[in-house]
Structure formats: structure tokens, C-alpha cells
Amino acid sequence: MIKFDVITIFPEMFKSYLGESLIARAQEKKFIKISLHFLRKWTNDNHRTVDDRPFGGGLGMVLKVEPIYKAVKQINKNNKKAKVILFTPRGQKFDQKLAYKLSKLDQIIFICGRYEGVDERVAEKIADMEISIGDYDLMGGELPAMVVMESISRLVPGVIGKAQLLKERISKSGGFLEYAQYTRPEVFKTKEGKNWRVPKVLVSGNHKNIEEWKMSHGKVIE
């Protein structure tokens, strides 16, 4: 089982996502465990303040280092095998190989930034990795956390069903083979009178030719 701990100021954003489909079933069957942690829990003032104005000026507010430090310390519990990940547009680009590598861990702690960013001391002193899910900016780290959790979770044995489903798609390098797929009807007739057919090789019964077709019409996502 792999444990995901998510530090966020908007835990409610995750509720519908975590309660549906394979992610919900994976939690029920204890293939994965997902815990949401409200960052304001680790504040001391009456207003439960988690942000402040940046030194040197600038627009917007920045998440403070202190509550994040306290949160990670309490959640980690000295698990040296745990990885702390901060989501930032400046981070390492998330890809299939990294998902495969992270799927071997037993605990991952996600720090979801908000507003104009996170105190840089979080990246320098607390996080083990900085990750970006693409070359664009978002309002916070909650959506990236969902993306990364799902990508990792589907690599955990049992989450998407039979183990064979993973074996036929995962390359030796940890990449993922994605190829074109079709289903019934074999011939779809459009309103314009056109026939959209499934490639003949896929209904030929020749498994060798089918595998060759999949490779030639697929792409290994690294």
C-alpha cells in the first residue's frame, strides 16, 4: 500500500474526486490511502493565518514556511523513506517514468501551494522534490496533486484490476505504451451514409500481426 498525504488550504476540493471510480475503490480495498491535511491546523493566531506579504514587494500573498514545516514534521513521523513533493511551475516536469519511480514508495507528502507562491525555504529545506505537471501556471497545487496521485495509483498492483493490464502496457524503462483502440460495432454507419470500419488486422485473429499493429500505431510515453 502507498500512502498519500496532501497538505492544502482547500481540502474540500478533493472530496468528490476521492469518492468516485477507481480511486474510491482503491482506498476501500486498501491498495492506497489518501489523507487530507488542512494547513490552517498548524497556525497559532486567531485568524489561522497561513500567508503574508512577500519581502521585497510584489503583488499577492505568499504561503508561510512555519505552518508547512510543522505540518510536514507531524505527518512524516521520521519516515526516512517518505518523499515530500512541492508543486511549482519551476519544478521537474512530471512524466510516466517519474510516476513509475514514485509508485515504489510507501509514503508521499504533497504540498499544495496557493496565491502567488510558497516561501522559498519550503523548496530549499523541506521538500525533497519540486514537480510541475506542465508548462503553464495554475491557481494552486490541488489539481496537480490529483493528477500525480492518479498517475501513480494506477501503477499500484490491483488498482486498475488484473496485473496483466499493467504488464502489457509498461515498458522496461518504466514508460507506458499507448496505442489506438476500437470496439463494436465493427462497421459504424454514419447519417451521411459513410462506413467507418475497424482495421481488418484487429479482427483477423492473428495475434502476432495484431501485436505488430499495436506497436506501429502506438507511442511509448516516457
C-alpha span between 161 and 105 (Å, rounded): 20
Closest CA to 130 of 142, 143, 147, 112: 112
In angstroms, the CA 29 to CA 123 distance is 34
The C-alpha atoms of residue 117 and residue 113 are separated, in whole angstroms, by 6
pLDDT at 176: 77
Q: Cell for 142?
A: 490541488
Q: What is the pLDDT of residue 175?
A: 75
Q: What is the full per-residue pLDDT of the chain (222 aa) written as tens digits?
A: 999 999 999 999 999 999 999 999 999 999 999 999 999 999 999 999 999 999 998 889 999 999 999 999 999 988 888 999 999 999 999 999 999 999 999 999 999 999 999 999 999 999 999 999 999 999 999 999 999 999 999 999 999 876 666 666 666 666 778 889 999 999 999 999 999 999 999 999 999 999 999 989 988 887
pLDDT confidence of residue 107: 97
Distance between CA atoms of residues 100 and 51, nearest Å: 34
DSSP string, 157-213: TTSSS-HHHHHTTB-TTS-EEEE----S-SEEEPTTS-EEEPPGGGGS--HHHHHHH
Which residue, among 208, 209, 171, 203, has the nearest Cα to 187 in the 3D structure? 203
The per-residue pLDDT for 92 is 97
Question: Which pLDDT score is estimated for 128?
Answer: 98
pLDDT of residue 120: 97
Q: What is the pLDDT of residue 164?
A: 63
First to last CA, the chain: 24
